[in-house]
Structure 1
Amino acid sequence: MQAAHAGVPLLLAATSVHGLTMAATDSDFRTVLNSVDLVTPDGQPVRWALNVLHGAGLQDRVYGPTLMRQVCETAAAEGVSVYFYGSRPEVLERLVDRLHVTLPGLRIAGYSSPPFRALTPEEDAAEVARIKASGAQIVFVGLGCPRQERWAYDHRSLLARPLVCVGAAFDFHAGTLRQAPAWMQARGLEWFFRLLMEPRRLWRRYAKHIPIFVILVSRQYLTQRLSWPPP
């Protein structure tokens, strides 16, 4: 909230297995993710890996929808205005309607949904101007990984305010996507639930990125074990 009150750039991203494996295999995206001011472990597998590899001692993940809700609650309490950028128009309308009911004190400065393609320079300039004109102090970005992180990276200086990348949080809070049961989330099975909900969209992503993540974590674990001095 300090950055929001001060009007200074800040990048925050709730990052899952998908984002980490993309950073490991795509040098351009690695540069983007390394520039983020605060990266939080959105998935349980990421939390487990941090605990095993680095002794982080994390008790839970920082789930994108929960992060968004908590930031909105604090923003409402402190009179900070927010903007929602991403998803689809109908999702944003439902999201805003719900927030008016559940968080009536939240100042929603505006929202917009860009087309699902690369914007022309003119279109991009118009989006930036719209966000600036709204006076929003925090911008939530829900474009999906890696598009949202790239967008935030490219616009941090132009917008000069906190940009919070939250993935599918807009859809979850709008009620257009079902969240996995709590027991599945706790056991790191949310990916399986989402695969059942959206098989055509997600099967390629999971088939590619889950094995890469397992290999990367296993390799780092074995490297650490083998490099330790004998007792």
Structure 2
Amino acid sequence: MLNPAAGDTPDWRRRWSLLLAKIERVQSPAQGQALLAELSHPTAPSVLAFANAHAMNSMAVSAPFFEAMQSADRVLRDGSGMATLFKMLRMEPGLNLNGTDLIPKLIHAFDGRGIALFGTRDPWLEKAWKRVGDELAPHSTVIHANGFLDAQAYAQLAAEHRPALIVLGMGMPRQEEVAAQLRGVLDYPCLIVCGGAIIDFLGGKTPRAPLWMRKTGTEWVYRLALEPRRLFQRYVIGNPLFLTRALRLASVNRR
């Protein structure tokens, strides 16, 4: 697991700037629908990743994680922290396309085609698999495997079953690294999604915050209250660190 509070590397500003330039900022619901339609019809193995404050902090201290994020085919903005960063840089942040909301829509869009869930562990994985098969994609064949295998095992499963959508729920940085490896070995069109805790959400392990917290960008407070020990480093230490780095980047850009 990455420690985003570790010392910055000398070129963290370059890493942030490169990824910020790569992030697709969707400005309207109509554009969001067009993006969803495009993502649901891959023409080659492709990776979809999400950039949030934790990802940006992690990139500041880890070159391999930065390279995995930068190699993704599509990167979307996730969370209010990223909106704040874009505004500091005098850039329109666009819609918040977080994976927790977008991935279930993607799963539904792939209904009728093969789907793979790779991540977390039972009973949450089994519950997520059942929910996807019963509710989100009832016409799909859905395979699943826990999130603690090596990348070769996932590659073998994908090569055998050829799912059109592969959802990885392993957390950063592992899922981004596994995604890059899968894209490198698979030989058919598919979308590989770096989904964070999405399989836990689908399986009922992690409940969603009330709607008003989601709309105000404070769902992280709800998650921290539920899992203070696991998320203390990410939010209590990580959020002020992210804002400090954001201010430093914005200051340099203004000069």
Decide: shared fold, TM above 0.5.
Answer: yes
Q: Which amino acid aligns with 2:143?
A: G
Instruction: Classify 1:6/1:185 alpha carbon distance in 2 versus 1 (closer, same or farther; 3 Å).
Output: closer
For 2:54 and 2:39, locate their aligned partners in 1 and report how far apart those are by CA, in whole Å: 28
Q: Does residue 1:62 correspond to 2:97, yes or no? A: yes
Which blocks of at least 5 consecutive residues in structure 1 are unaligned?
none
Q: Paired residue for 2:58, among 4, 10, 22?
A: 22
Q: Paired residue for 2:174, among 139, 147, 159?
A: 147
Q: Considering fraction of residues, name the structure with more helix.
A: 1
Instruction: Classify 1:27/1:54 alpha carbon distance in 2 versus 1 (closer, same or farther; 3 Å).
Output: farther
Percent sequence identity over matched residues?
A: 28
Q: Which amino acid aligns with 1:195?
A: L
- Tell me the residue number matched to 2:19: none
- Tell me the residue number matched to 1:35: 71
**What CA RMSD, in Å, does the superposition of the two structures yield over aligned residues?**
2.1
Instruction: Classify 1:52/1:204 alpha carbon distance in 2 versus 1 (closer, same or farther; 3 Å).
Output: closer
Conserved? CA contact 2:110–2:137, under 8 Å: no
Count how many residue pairs are aligned between Structure 1 and Structure 2. 217
For 2:42 and 2:233, locate their aligned partners in 1 and report how far apart those are by CA, in whole Å: 42
Larger radius of gyration: 1
Scaled by the length of structure 2, the TM-score of the pair is 0.77
Deviation at 1:80, TM superposition (A): 2.5
Instruction: Classify 1:18/1:6 alpha carbon distance in 2 versus 1 (closer, same or farther; 3 Å).
Output: closer
1:215-226 matched pairs, under 5 angstroms:
215-225=244-254
For 2:42 and 2:212, locate their aligned partners in 1 and report how far apart those are by CA, in whole Å: 40
Instruction: Classify 1:207/1:57 alpha carbon distance in 2 versus 1 (closer, same or farther; 3 Å).
Output: closer
For 1:100 and 1:138, locate their aligned partners in 2 and report how far apart those are by CA, in whole Å: 13
1:1-231 matched pairs, under 5 angstroms:
8-58=44-94, 60-76=95-111, 79-115=112-148, 124-160=151-187, 161-225=190-254, 227=255
Residue 141 of structure 2 aligns to a residue in which SS?
strand
Residue 89 of structure 1 aligns to a residue in which SS?
coil
Q: 1:122-148, CA deviations, whole angstroms, 9 ceiling, x for partnerless residues? A: x54333212221121110110011111
Instruction: Classify 1:35/1:179 alpha carbon distance in 2 versus 1 (closer, same or farther; 3 Å).
Output: same
